[in-house]
Amino acid sequence: MECSTGFVVFAWMVIGWEAFLLLMALFEPALRYKIAQFESPALDSEAFLRTIEALTDAQVNHASLLTVHTNGEHFYEAELEAIGKARRSINLEAYIFQKGEVTRRFVSALAERARAGVRVNVVLDAIGSLSTTKSHLKELLEAGGRVQFYHPLSWRSAARINNRSHRELLVIDGETGFIGGAGFADHWLHSKKKRKRWRDTMIQVEGEVVCNLQATFAENWLESSGEVIFGEEYFPFCENKGQSKAMVINSAPSVGGSTRARILFQAMVSAAEKCIYITSPYFLPDSSLVKELVRAVQRGVELKIIVPGKKSDHALTRSSSRRLYGELLKAGAQIHEYQPSMIHAKILIVDDLWSIAGSTNFDNRSFGLNDEVNVAARDPELAARLTQDFAADLAESKQMSLESWRHRSILERLNEVLGWALERQQ
């Protein structure tokens, strides 16, 4: 009885805190971010590369290999294969690690490597992976693997309940990494009833860039466990594997209200000269980013955006997103709603040259509250490969016209009002 009473008290404390944050956000004036520049350096210039490197506190790696894995049947198999080959260390960080067939396979694969003497460290977000308990991880823990939950729920952590680790990454031996939008759950692999499996993308990285991805994992492992990972088991000398100029850019609220992710995305949009292709599951840009996108269209940049259709996993978020379409459609942007299933990929392609893939959504939660990680690459081959996927997704999407947007229903407009409050508190 005492335990249940304590839980109820804690639940009401959390609700009260969230209500307070909501009210504060509704009446707090939002910052209007903008790019201050005389003239943007060309996207293919060393000046632009150095500017992004400096602004995001990232390191450009000049010899990296990046491989695209489209959808769960491909990226899960690639990840499991890499885990099976691990000799020294495996580090995994995930927002979503949901009980089911997929996580059972990964727990077993990680446990097998742990029994073989490989160091296995896992960081799971305490809210995103709420359904995962120590019993679900028993095989891994008994094999010697170590698991930490990021910002677990307690009265002591109520002030940071909104800060989640939204990162999805896997690093093997400090030599091979995976980064993208997909967590670990059955809906990325199997269709259910009338719901087709989710559409998503992961990028496999090799070469110099993996060292920076490992360092990103090290941040939240330190915060969760109090331990600094160090040594050749985690940071070996990485051989040159490719020609991509790539950088891993992590962001967190501690960097400031305007995170590195925002700087990266807004700078890319402001520098675009030919085309911008965006795939985002939760497209809720604030007025600053909307204006940046509109300015891009006005200077002749082709802007195409793919977002979820009716099979979105968050109907209210979709309604909130649709509220923002008007200004973009009037400017001449194209907005397409993906029809077959929930699209969860988070991709930005600029001028057939730059690509960004990772965990960041086009919303204020990703730009201001969550811990995120992205890989940004200046590589026309990678951009071409991701554009192939974009074109395939476009073919299975329905284009939203300005006329149909203007004739959306009263119910949808009411949902947009609710969504506005949600958007502000993010």
- 31 lies in some domain: no
- 35 lies in some domain: no
- 384 lies in some domain: yes
Please report, for residues 81, 180, 267, 298, the alpha-carbon distance to residue 275 in angstroms, rounded to integers and kept in the order given.
36, 22, 14, 12
Rounded to an integer, what distance in angstroms lies between the CA atom of residue 245 and that of residue 49?
9
Question: For the segment 33-83, what is each residue's pLDDT rounded down to a tens digit?
Answer: 676 665 778 999 999 999 999 999 999 998 789 999 999 999 999 999 999
Rounded to an integer, what distance in angstroms lies between the CA atom of residue 306 and that of residue 417?
23
Which residues have CB under 8 Å from 166's CB, separation 6+?
Answer: 95, 125, 128, 359, 360, 365, 366, 370, 371, 372
- 117 lies in some domain: yes
Please give the helix or strand (H or E) that residue 149 lies within, else none: strand 146-150
Pairing of strands 119-125, 89-94: parallel
The CATH number of residue 60's host domain is 3.30.870.10
Burial of 318: CB neighbours in 10 Å, binned 0-12, 13-18, 19+: buried
Selected residue with higher pLDDT from 391 and 22: 391
Instruction: State how far Cα 420 lies from the chain centre.
Output: 22
Rounded to an integer, what distance in angstroms lies between the CA atom of residue 348 and that of residue 350?
7
Per-residue pLDDT, 89: 99
- 85 lies in some domain: yes
Look at the chain and report how many structural domains it folds into.
1
- 37 lies in some domain: no
Flag whether pLDDT at 364 surpasses 90.
no
Please report, for residues 205, 266, 313, 327, 338, the alpha-carbon distance to residue 297 in angstroms, rounded to integers and kept in the order given.
32, 14, 29, 11, 22
- 26 lies in some domain: no
**Is the CB of residue 186 less than 8 Å from the CB of residue 101?**
yes
Rounded to an integer, what distance in angstroms lies between the CA atom of residue 269 and that of residue 266?
5
DSSP string spanning 244-302?
EEEEEEEE-GGG-SS-HHHHHHHHHHHH-SSEEEEE-SS-B--HHHHHHHHHHHHTT-E
- 33 lies in some domain: no
Question: For the segment 176-213, what is each residue's pLDDT rounded down to a tens digit?
Answer: 999 999 999 999 998 887 789 999 999 999 999 999 99
Structural domain of 154 = 46-425
Q: Of 32-46, 269-283, 324-338, give the lowest mean pLDDT range.
A: 32-46
Per-residue pLDDT, 28: 46
Sign for the pseudo-dihedral over CA of 102, 107, 110, 115: negative
